[in-house]
Amino acid sequence: MIEIDGSHGEGGGQLLRMAVALAAITGQGLRVRNVRARRSNPGLAPQHLAAVKAVAALCGAEAEGLQVKSQEIVFHPQGLRGGEFQFDVGTAGSVTLVLQAVLPVALACAQQVVVRITGGTDVRDAPPLDYFRYVFLSLLSRMGGRVSIAVERRGYYPRGGGEIRLEVQAGASLQPLVMETRGALRELGGIAHTANLPAHITARMARAAQQALPLLPAPQIEQQLLAWPRAMGQGGAIVLWALSEGGVLGAAATAQRGVPAERLGDEAGRALRAEIESGATLDVHAADQLLVYAALANGLSRFTARTLSSHARTTMWLIERFLPVEFDAAQAGLLWRVDCRPRLQ
């Protein structure tokens, strides 16, 4: 059994989600103590509980400590299995954070996996749904991941109620992600959406994002105005991306009560501009989220990032506990270069 101190590094929910995913993939027993110890409300929140239960379903795991606020879990995976699954976070907890735990496990299954998840699709402190499907999944497809996602309904804080359907094809063999140079910028795009709010809010978000990118081709930002049954509750987000010959960079901001639309659009636009001007091949969030897939690929992966987050450093430490790979992260000029290579046996 692998013992993990949940207070290591950034000490948050991502360490827990990735630990149970890696345990499921490798078939190793797992004990995590001090779950989310570095957070103001330590222990399992509903979205973390949903993620662990979802992974357990995909590998027939026996688990202990699965209740809200629990600060220790024990996880005994059995065998990976495909099929159709449905999970409900029960709150506005993030659907995309649950997917961070479920997707690597689903890709490792020998049969097709279809998952429906109900919860928050665009909530604070989590990747908005459009970042997941237009930036992250685009990059994963370059590695051979055959994944599709359908948005049945959007959901926001505090009610949740959003629903997605994820389909993962069996038999995908992940290829290394080698992105050393970005190549010429081809297109800037994005989606700004709001639900059950006045139309001018969406337009103001989009306009502020365009103004934050003055020296680049004006991004073509699609504006979506949603209402029931396409969305439950009030909320929104803006997601931007930059397509190049070598891949895609992304940035996002999620609507919050009391925060002006202009600030959200400006935040997302400035973030994307920083990624473009840095010359990095992956944005800081993708650099974090793709680490586990690079570790599962057959061969050397290499990319550059503008900075290396504490999430990324913690994830690299964790992956090396489970898989025969080693990470090398070093500054190369103004960028960080990250290598993931199979460890010599």
State residue 87's pLDDT score: 96
Q: At which of 138, 173, 208 does a domain end?
A: 173
Task: Specify which of 193-197, 212-216, 244-248 reaches the highest per-range mean pLDDT.
Answer: 193-197
d(C-alpha 168, C-alpha 231), whole Å: 24
10 with 42, same domain? yes
Assess whether pLDDT exceeds 50 at residue 345: no
Q: How many domains does the chain have?
A: 3
- Whole-structure pTM value: 0.95
Q: At which of 122, 142, 173 does a domain end?
A: 173
| Cα separations in angstroms, 182 against 59, 177, 186, 278, 306 | 38, 13, 11, 11, 13
Phi, psi of 280 (to 5 degrees): -65, 155
Confidence of residue 231 (pLDDT cuts 50, 70, 90): very high
Assess whether pLDDT exceeds 90 at residue 214: no
**Catalytic residue status for 76:** no
d(C-alpha 131, C-alpha 310), whole Å: 20
Calculate the CA dihedral of residues 136, 18, 123, 141 and round it to 10 degrees.
10
State residue 216's pLDDT score: 79
Exactly one of 48, 76, 193, 311 is catalytic; name it.
311
State residue 122's pLDDT score: 98
Confidence of residue 344 (pLDDT cuts 50, 70, 90): low
Assess whether pLDDT exceeds 80 at residue 215: no
Mean of the per-residue pLDDT values of the chain: 95
At 272, which CATH number?
3.30.360.20
Dihedral sign for Cα 217, 220, 221, 223, please: positive
Q: pLDDT of 256-303, one tens digit each?
A: 999 999 999 999 999 999 999 999 999 999 999 999 999 999 999 999
State residue 38's pLDDT score: 85
In percent, how much of the chain has pLDDT > 70? 99
Nearest by Cα to 77 from 109, 34, 116, 45: 109
Domain that holds residue 149: 2-173
8 with 141, same domain? yes
Q: pLDDT of 24-39, one tens digit each?
A: 999 999 999 999 988 8
196 with 345, same domain? no
| Cα separations in angstroms, 331 against 307, 328, 339 | 9, 10, 12
Q: Tell me the HSE value of 101 on the side-chain side, using a 13 A CA sphere.
A: 30
- Average pLDDT score over residue span 319-338: 96
- The bridge status of strand 335-342 relative to strand 72-76 is unpaired
Phi, psi of 334 (to 5 degrees): -90, -5
- The bridge status of strand 185-195 relative to strand 62-64 is unpaired
